[in-house]
Structure 1
Amino acid sequence: MNAYRPEYRHRDYKAVLFDLDGVITPTALLHRRAWHELFSAYFDQFPGVASYTEQDYFNLLDGRPRYDAVQAVLASRGLELPWGTVEDPAGLDTICALGNMKNDKFTEVLLRDGIEPYAGSLAYLRQVLAAGLDVAVVSSSRNARMVLSAAGLEEHFPLVMGGQEAAARGLAGKPAPDTFLAAAADLGWRPEECVVFEDATSGVAAARAGGFGVVGVAREENAAELMEAGAHFVIEDLAELVSEDSVQAWEMDSWSLLRDEHRDTDGAQDTVFSLGNGFLGARAAQLGLGDQSGGTFINGLHEAWQIRHAESAFGLAETGQTMISAPDFRTLRVFINDEALEVGRTEMLRDELRLDFRDGTLCARTLWRTAEGHRVAVMARTMISFTDRHLALQDVHVRLLDAPARVLVQSSVVGYRSARTVASPEETDASAAGVADPRKSEEASQNPLHPAGNAVNGSRLGISYAVPGSGMSVAAMVEHQVSTTGGADQQLRIDRKTSDESADEVISARLEAGQGIRVSKYAVYNCSRRHPAQEMLQRSDRALDHLVEQGMDEHFRTQRDFMADFWQRSDVVVDCDDAGLQRKIRWNLFQLAQAAGRADGLGISAKGVSGNGYSGHYFWDTEIYVMPFLTYTNQQWARNTLRARVAMIPAATRRASIMNEAGLLFPWRTINGEEASAYYPAGTAQYHINADVVYSLNRYLSVMEDDEFLLAGGAEILAGTARMWASLGFWRGQEGNERFHIHGVTGPDEYTAVVNDNLYTNVMARFNLRRSAQLLTELAGQHPEQYASLAGKLELSDEEIALWLKAADCMHIPYSESVGIHPQDEHFLNREVWDLANTGPDKRPLLLHYHPLVIYRFQVIKQADAVLALWLRSSDFTAEQKLADFNYYDPLTTGDSTLSATVQSILAAEVGYRELSWEYFEHALNVDLENLHGNTGDGVHVASTGGVWSGLIYGFAGLRDDDDRLCFDPRLPEAWRSISFSLAWHGMRIAVRLERESITFTLDGAHSRPIWVRGEQVDLVPGESIVVPLADQGPVREGRPSLDKVLEVQSEAGVDVPRKAW
């Protein structure tokens, strides 16, 4: 291996373009032999003319088109011949005749001597093909196909851009980049997405001129020349790129997710491979499925209706809301000689999806064999733009590989066909249970999208709808840019039509083998709660003016730039031997970008924009599980997410009044700001939503010091939520020994409802009251005029703030001296213990198999409740209390909610259960990737993906920030060598690298800042790396807490809580 070779990143490219001679096959030897035989015989006719030498080949022939090469050699001897025509036979004194004679000579030598590919090149080719990359041969040789056939490689290269093909299409040869550019276009990739392997300086120069990645192959000790010509790096043989490590790099690519096996039937893959930007989302666009509808979503687009309670009562939620599908742009149908290419009907030779985290794109590729036996390759690359949040793109390429045919491509935007929910996955056993699964979407009306007008504007098609119940409107407008590839110049027929149900464009043409059709589809969406559908159409039409002008390739480039910035701020890199772990981590982090990136002041629903599970509602999930990631990595996204809560203040004020409380009460689940939870015990009763919002707001303010946001609604949230707690709670006890209680609430655990003094609620309410008082007092000192105006508007007094502090100081925090733990609520320890060990998987989740009253009678936990308080308010508890509480509650926790695993992982890591911590983390990591809860088909569990980030940073890196400081107490897993990430802090960034024996901090900013490691202050200095030694990675405890131990603890405490006989 020579000194020129740097690191080569395989998955930076989508396609590999190989020169033939000297790269794949040693045809140069055959060409040199053929040229030598040709010119030796020819120059014998001219006495005094210098004989042909081997140096002539390298100086005048190598890399040039054949006829140009003949002219160059003759000119070097002072000989001139007319050019002639390509049909000139051997014997004529023309340049073309000599060139054709050389071709005959080469064929003679090839058939006589045969040819074998370079062993290293063959191994590398197999590696590339196994990785799913496209390949092509780009050669000046007119014999390229013959050589590939002789070498047994023809079937591996469906695209060959040889001398004959270039001549037929009028393409200039190397060093012009035309042949490389044409090959890339035929494959459907941009030049910067392709890497070229070349052994000649003219080929290297051509590839660099075209904007390709270039690898020089220096078989003739010409590395310096290849580098000088423009190669990015040089190798001596392609075998240098074939090793165990490089094979693993292909197979375990950490920047993309591949499906190349069977398609599922429960919709999980459509979720896992979905795309979104926080505003607009689409489930995986898979080829060969006919019309696709119900899979494109817009954040906030919903239908609303009057909830009909069987037995109504005052204050119950009145308005139901459910996310509905927008008009769906994903439909793509291909017909070959009138045969539809469809799954289940047409033979599929290849069927893959690749979700690229670095590009933010989904590439679907299928290889079909028609009933006539001909192969057709179809590639569709889909993108939901982060830079233009209303834009969806689909770039489709249909290519005939081995026979002419009539090709017809139908591209559509399909309106709402019928109201339906995603079918229940078998794993949930919901149908057998005979109950509705509350995790799924509620039904809207039979047809929530009412046609509101269509549009045909030149090449643009538009459809629009009104949503009567919610009063919303939505429109989609599309434009297609159509071209042919492979040198086709046939006339395309294009038909366009719109109806109430769809907008369709049909493109057809008669093509030859090797030719194709490229359809670039721009779809723009707009929706509104205030403006009519026609205006939405007009907005979409205007947007297309500049979006189409930018061009498809430019949109893909800007998307990659956007994602590069995202990953620079957000990536978490783990060094370990599990090659697939990094990919799984990045998939989870990528989902957070897709759910939040361009929500731009809208909420983040439980499923983001990947599906309508949980009816597309916003919950507390965002504040507790998603906002930590946003706050430390993407502050504008965090600010926008908090803006959604500010927008809800009027509705929250009304809701508090209805519930007979002062201040604000945020809805438990909502889309439009109004409470939509029809089942109040597990909905409205979860008053902790108020404290969750303030907890998230406080972290944001601690990281960003954003007084502007505080004055633009944040302070109203602080005051309104504190007022609600002061109004909801009540006092008991004598003066001097008073306690503040909160009754009739539900904590995060929805298997225990409407209880008194829920630990989590009281702990978080205490924080809410105290922090609201502190921040408002600071605001009064720093911005007295603005605060005076705010206080006047809210009728806020110093006496009221003092009352909040008193309530916080006197908050009742349940604790059992006899059992030695914090009870989850006042009566939790008096309930029977559910025998989870003998509750089979056929009875899980419990909520689908037992009446709520049955569940409520037991000590059984759906998701971390008291344990969640131990994490969020870590400084409120001692290490001994955390261990005792975790030991008690962990065996009682079913994990029926995906919100639980990461919290349990974080606390298990802190108290020393390393293997258990990893077990919980791994579960969270794979919740959707392996459909562990059986409902991935309803959409991504966004909160769980946020929990993965928290598990990495709060769990394994040991961050605690609940006292507005950055404190680290690491717990690096045994199998990991290191973990690296960065955090925003006070307008700067701190890079962190945790290793087994040290943790290193590097501050990128202008001012020194302190952080704490295991209680010791560490002062960070801008630009310097501070290394803090670590004696260990915290305590180590074997096994896991057990249910038997829970009963033993109760027995020792004299608590008589029998286990039910199941």
Structure 2
Amino acid sequence: MNQDYIKPNNWSIIEEGFEPERVKSSESLFSLGNGAMGQRANFEEYYSGPTFQGSYIAGIYYPDKTKVGWWKNGYPETFAKVLNAPNWIGINVFINGEPLDLFRCKAVNNYRRELNMKEGSYVRSFTATLQNDLEVSVKVTRFLSIQRDELGVINYEVEVLNADAKVVFEPYIDSGITNEDANWEEKFWETLQVQDEGRQAFITSKTLKTEYHACTYMESRLLENGRIVDAQPETSTKEELISYLYSIQAKKGEKVTLQKFAGYVTSLNHDKDHLIPAAKAVLQDGLEAGIETLLQEQNEAWAKIWEMADISIEGDVKAQQGIRFNIFQLNQTYLGKDARLNIGPKGFTGEKYGGSTYWDTEAYCIPFYMATKDQNVARNLLTYRYNHLDKAIENAEKLGFKNGAALYPMVTMNGEESHNEWEITFEEIHRNGAMVVAISRYVNFTGDYEYIPKKGLEVMIAIARFWQQRATFSTQKEKYVILGVTGPNEYENNVNNNWYTNYIAKWCIDYCLKNLAKVKSDFTEDYKRVIEKTSLTEEELQNLEDVSDKMYFPYSEEYNVFLQQDNFLDKEIVPVSELPKSQRPINQKWSWDRILRSCYIKQADVLQGFYFFEDHFSQEDLERHFNFYEPLTVHESSLSPCVHSIQAAVLGRMEQAYEFYLRTSRLDLDDYNNEVKEGCHITSMAGTWMSIVEGFGGMRVLDGKLSFNPRIPKEWKAYSFKINFRNQILKINVAAGKTSFSLEGVEPLDIIVNGQLITVEPNNLVTV
């Protein structure tokens, strides 16, 4: 564990004491979002110390020109960047002409930030002694409205403690921003218009290349001891910035406050020529409502989210704080309201990785949204990929595949591949399988089979075609092999016959063939339409069957396990426990050459297959493979601890399951991988939810019924969660030795608990 400054608390993330070296990490951890926009927790006032400025608008991106040392045929020409958007939070503060800058203050005391996850607001407070010896007490409250998702609000309160003083607030909006991760240090925005209307300011700008238009807007009001002061600000306008200066003579011990209402309206939701009127309408509504009403709305919106999504843990504050932080960030990132959006790997907390969509959505996030919201949200996420099918076929064509074979991108905004590290872009093809796994899990959980004939089958056919063309028949083995790949373990590149890749390829083909038969018999009209659209032939079906039947899987007779890939045992097999701590994390301490030659595994690889296809293997199989692979795993991917936690729980190894749970739930809070300053790991947070619900709760869907095998870590007194299963809400409460179930709904629900069939009646507690 690398950091330990976040105070344990059930409902809040709290930092006490001002430490400049923690600022960037805290900017990530205290980030805010409302599904439509978000920002790192940068200070509103000027800060001259190290900081990572970041504000983001969902769905707006820029195709930055690829930067690689040596161009390879097939490289995507651009890398889709999550854009640092114009800054609207800025409020410079001057006391008797001296700027408030925490990096330069003579002293900073009582410094505290709190992210209140229950209510969706962020409060920062401190006392500071400025260079001119004036002492001030400051309290800042900020939130992004969930109900009115184009609006953000800041309440900035200053009290001069040791003298009367002139306080100047300078709220501003600034479109002259850049991305930290720009490949060529280009600007991504063009400012079109800076407009001042007395107290209201507007900057309209557009993204270069993608031509998204945005209007960043603000209006502020000044308060003295809680009463609005009719102050006319001075205006300062530059090419890409507009600011207002509000001056007030503050008596010693009196509170003066600037309230700022600001945010974005964009061409995603409005006519690009009517952005300023749209911004004015948002401002009018927000100002009329006022901060108290807006905060009340915010509380109610979050209460509704928590009512369904919360996981409550008794007796372990750090575990409780961890899961709520994960659930909070997932909901700040994506609320399921807009089918054009997806779940970016950093959400609104940073720029790293670019793109809004990885295979993480299908592999990890869909179960969370499906069970804590409703099946329509999950169906939207599947539809997002269906809508990108033509682009996935185009991506495959660029690499030489034909006949409608599809390769879904590793990273994308609009369906085009926009990742450009060859060993991932061209080789990490197992991502294709996650698209089909997601469809299968969705249908299994919701019972909404109709998705397959309407949309899913076309995706399956295109992916099956890809696997059939990507496999090569080995005359030596008399089997189909898949050469030159990178499996989920990215510490192995360009390997042959990664077991997980071969296994998911075979499964995708089998699942496609099985569903073709079912759609043919039960949905004849859809079947005809799909066959006509895809031009699928009998000969192709036979080829697909042949590849599936003859797929090769590397296996070790000596260890009685599937091998991660050919020649895995040529490596020197030394468990992670024998690695000195000074060598960890290896991705920051070792050369890439050394990592590739080592036996060390970044994240679940063979075990990822055992997680997805659990019902294909016995518990003894899982135990053998877990015993072999987990000791070689360094867990340097955020997606690793959750899968291992679930499997350790299945094996009854609760201490290990709990340790992995803490690691996944507090990955960012405790900064295990020493990188939280770049942003939080949003998509893996859904894996934290799975580690409780599927790991400790043992939830599965068997023959259309929810099934549970509940277990509880010894550190907990009890835990509870809710599942929205086919529009009935089941609450599960697990304590040592007993589990109780209650149902919100009108129909009784049959569930399986520890292998026994039980009926739960509505509004009636059943204890097992």
TM-score by length of 2: 0.90
Structure 1: state its 5+ residue gaps.
1-250, 421-440, 1029-1062
Counterpart Cα distance in 2 of 1:511 and 1:650: 63
Counterpart Cα distance in 2 of 1:487 and 1:389: 27
1:498 equivalent in structure 2: 237
Could you say which structure has the greater relative contact order, defined with CA pairs below 8 angstroms and 6 or more residues apart? 2
Call closer, same or farther: CA 1:655–1:974 in 2, change over 3 Å: same
> Is the CA contact (8 Å cut-off) linking 1:874 and 1:960 kept in structure 2?
no
Alignment pair present for 1:413 and 2:173 = yes
Q: How many Å apart are 1:546 and its aligned residue?
A: 3.3
What are the residue-to-residue correspondences of 1:267-306 with 2, within 5 Å?
267-286=24-43, 288-290=45-47, 294-306=53-65
Alignment pair present for 1:570 and 2:309 = yes
Question: Which is worse superposed, 494-503 or 883-892?
Answer: 494-503
Counterpart Cα distance in 2 of 1:468 and 1:926: 38
Call closer, same or farther: CA 1:758–1:488 in 2, change over 3 Å: closer
What are the residue-to-residue correspondences of 1:386-465 with 2, within 5 Å?
386-400=146-160, 403-420=163-180, 441=181, 443-465=183-205
Q: How many Å apart are 1:330 and its aligned residue?
A: 1.9
Q: How many Å apart are 1:408 and its aligned residue?
A: 1.0
Secondary structure of the equivalent of 1:597? coil
Q: 616, 641, 656: which one pairs with 1:901?
A: 641
Alignment pair present for 1:590 and 2:319 = no
1:320 equivalent in structure 2: 79
Structure 2: state its 5+ residue gaps.
1-6
RMSD (Å), alpha carbons: 3.0
Counterpart Cα distance in 2 of 1:798 and 1:386: 52
1:190 equivalent in structure 2: none
- Report the residue type matching 1:932 in the other structure: Y
1:989 equivalent in structure 2: 729
Alignment pair present for 1:633 and 2:633 = no
Secondary structure of the equivalent of 2:21? coil
Alignment pair present for 1:347 and 2:107 = yes
Call closer, same or farther: CA 1:917–1:911 in 2, change over 3 Å: same
Question: Which is worse superposed, 567-576 or 846-855?
Answer: 846-855
Q: How many Å apart are 1:528 and its aligned residue?
A: 4.8
Alignment pair present for 1:694 and 2:433 = no
Q: 421, 426, 429: which one pairs with 1:684?
A: 426
1:878 equivalent in structure 2: 618
Call closer, same or farther: CA 1:264–1:375 in 2, change over 3 Å: closer
- Report the residue type matching 2:323 in the other structure: I
Per-residue displacement from partner, 1:73-122 (whole Å, max 9, x unpaired)?
A: xxxxxxxxxxxxxxxxxxxxxxxxxxxxxxxxxxxxxxxxxxxxxxxxxx
Q: 313, 324, 335: which one pairs with 2:94?
A: 335
Identity %: 26
Counterpart Cα distance in 1 of 2:18 and 2:760: 52
Q: How many Å apart are 1:709 and its aligned residue?
A: 5.0
Per-residue displacement from partner, 1:162-213 (whole Å, max 9, x unpaired)?
A: xxxxxxxxxxxxxxxxxxxxxxxxxxxxxxxxxxxxxxxxxxxxxxxxxxxx
2:363 equivalent in structure 1: 624
Call closer, same or farther: CA 1:252–1:658 in 2, change over 3 Å: closer
Q: How many Å apart are 1:261 and its aligned residue?
A: 1.5
> Is the CA contact (8 Å cut-off) linking 1:462 and 1:476 kept in structure 2?
yes
Alignment pair present for 1:790 and 2:555 = no
Question: Which is worse superposed, 388-397 or 704-713?
Answer: 704-713
Counterpart Cα distance in 1 of 2:131 and 2:263: 37
Secondary structure of the equivalent of 1:976? coil
2:16 equivalent in structure 1: 260
Q: How many Å apart are 1:856 and its aligned residue?
A: 2.8
The number of residue pairs the alignment matches comes to: 754
Counterpart Cα distance in 1 of 2:572 and 2:631: 14
Call closer, same or farther: CA 1:1001–1:531 in 2, change over 3 Å: closer
Call closer, same or farther: CA 1:379–1:909 in 2, change over 3 Å: same
Per-residue displacement from partner, 1:484-527 (whole Å, max 9, x unpaired)?
A: 325686x5241234323322122112233454333222223134
Counterpart Cα distance in 1 of 2:53 and 2:100: 21
> Is the CA contact (8 Å cut-off) linking 2:577 and 2:631 kept in structure 1?
no
1:151 equivalent in structure 2: none
Counterpart Cα distance in 2 of 1:673 and 1:390: 26
1:476 equivalent in structure 2: 216
Counterpart Cα distance in 2 of 1:861 and 1:466: 43
Counterpart Cα distance in 1 of 2:437 and 2:485: 19
TM-score by length of 1: 0.66
Counterpart Cα distance in 2 of 1:315 and 1:860: 30
> Is the CA contact (8 Å cut-off) linking 2:55 and 2:87 kept in structure 1?
yes
Alignment pair present for 1:724 and 2:471 = no
Q: How many Å apart are 1:647 and its aligned residue?
A: 3.2
1:581 equivalent in structure 2: 319
Q: How many Å apart are 1:979 and its aligned residue?
A: 1.6
Counterpart Cα distance in 1 of 2:562 and 2:720: 35
- Report the residue type matching 2:640 in the other structure: S
Counterpart Cα distance in 2 of 1:257 and 1:274: 11
Q: How many Å apart are 1:536 and its aligned residue?
A: 4.4
Counterpart Cα distance in 1 of 2:336 and 2:46: 29
Counterpart Cα distance in 2 of 1:464 and 1:711: 44
Call closer, same or farther: CA 1:708–1:521 in 2, change over 3 Å: farther
What are the residue-to-residue correspondences of 1:526-545 with 2, within 5 Å?
526-528=265-267, 536-545=275-284
Q: 255, 258, 262: which one pairs with 1:516?
A: 255
Per-residue displacement from partner, 1:6-37 (whole Å, max 9, x unpaired)?
A: xxxxxxxxxxxxxxxxxxxxxxxxxxxxxxxx
Question: Which is worse superposed, 468-477 or 746-755?
Answer: 468-477
> Is the CA contact (8 Å cut-off) linking 1:322 and 1:444 kept in structure 2?
no
> Is the CA contact (8 Å cut-off) linking 1:452 and 1:534 kept in structure 2?
no
Q: How many Å apart are 1:282 and its aligned residue?
A: 0.8
Alignment pair present for 1:365 and 2:121 = no
Per-residue displacement from partner, 1:406-462 (whole Å, max 9, x unpaired)?
A: 221111122234553xxxxxxxxxxxxxxxxxxxx4535332222222222343211
2:446 equivalent in structure 1: 704
- Report the residue type matching 1:791 in the other structure: I
- Report the residue type matching 2:38 in the other structure: G
Counterpart Cα distance in 1 of 2:282 and 2:516: 43
- Report the residue type matching 1:270 in the other structure: E
Q: 411, 416, 421: which one pairs with 1:669?
A: 411
> Is the CA contact (8 Å cut-off) linking 2:355 and 2:411 kept in structure 1?
no
Q: 938, 956, 959: which one pairs with 2:696?
A: 956
What are the residue-to-residue correspondences of 1:563-962 with 2, within 5 Å?
563-576=302-315, 578-597=316-335, 600=338, 601-635=340-374, 636-661=376-401, 662-706=404-448, 710=452, 713-731=455-473, 739-796=479-536, 804=544, 807-808=547-548, 810-833=550-573, 836-837=576-577, 839-961=579-701
Counterpart Cα distance in 1 of 2:509 and 2:766: 37
> Is the CA contact (8 Å cut-off) linking 1:305 and 1:469 kept in structure 2?
no
Counterpart Cα distance in 1 of 2:434 and 2:378: 14
Counterpart Cα distance in 2 of 1:714 and 1:414: 44
Q: How many Å apart are 1:797 and its aligned residue?
A: 5.5
Per-residue displacement from partner, 1:458-490 (whole Å, max 9, x unpaired)?
A: 43211133332444443311122333325686x
Counterpart Cα distance in 1 of 2:481 and 2:748: 43
Secondary structure of the equivalent of 2:301? helix
> Is the CA contact (8 Å cut-off) linking 1:703 and 1:984 kept in structure 2?
no
Q: How many Å apart are 1:542 and its aligned residue?
A: 4.2
> Is the CA contact (8 Å cut-off) linking 1:389 and 1:598 kept in structure 2?
no
Counterpart Cα distance in 1 of 2:545 and 2:556: 25
Secondary structure of the equivalent of 1:463? strand
Per-residue displacement from partner, 1:638-686 (whole Å, max 9, x unpaired)?
A: 3333343233222111011122334221111223322122222233311
> Is the CA contact (8 Å cut-off) linking 1:909 and 1:955 kept in structure 2?
yes
Q: How many Å apart are 1:400 and its aligned residue?
A: 4.2
Alignment pair present for 1:1023 and 2:763 = yes
Q: Which has the larger radius of gyration?
A: 1
Q: How many Å apart are 1:571 and its aligned residue?
A: 0.8
- Report the residue type matching 2:55 in the other structure: T
